[in-house]
Amino acid sequence: GPKFLHLMYRFARHVMVQYVKRYSTGSDIPFAEAVNLAPKDTYVVNARHRVAYNKLLQIFQNEDRIIQEYKKK
């Protein structure tokens, strides 16, 4: 359901931040710190969240459709 998808989105975001932190040490890439900052414009934040959430939902739906077709065959 929606709670599970939200949990998966948050987990994927956490994993991405940890990955960037681990593999960008010494390369002067402030990306990991920028991801954790809270922007002042909440409209932009909500819009980005909706886009990422919808994309993740589409990926899960497509994966489920492929699994269902595979099971039928």
How far is it, in rounded angstroms, from Cα 24 to Cα 20? 6
Spatial contact of 35 and 14, defined as CB atoms under 8 Å apart = no
Three-state secondary structure of the chain: CHHHHHHHHHHHHHHHHHHHHHHCCCCCCCHHHHHHCCCCCHHHHHHHHHHHHHHHHHHHHHHHHHHHHHHHC
- Weakest mean pLDDT among 9-18, 40-49, 63-72: 40-49
pLDDT tens per residue across span 32-53: 565 656 667 778 778 888 888 8
Chain position carrying tokens 């497509």:
62
pTM check: above 0.85:
no
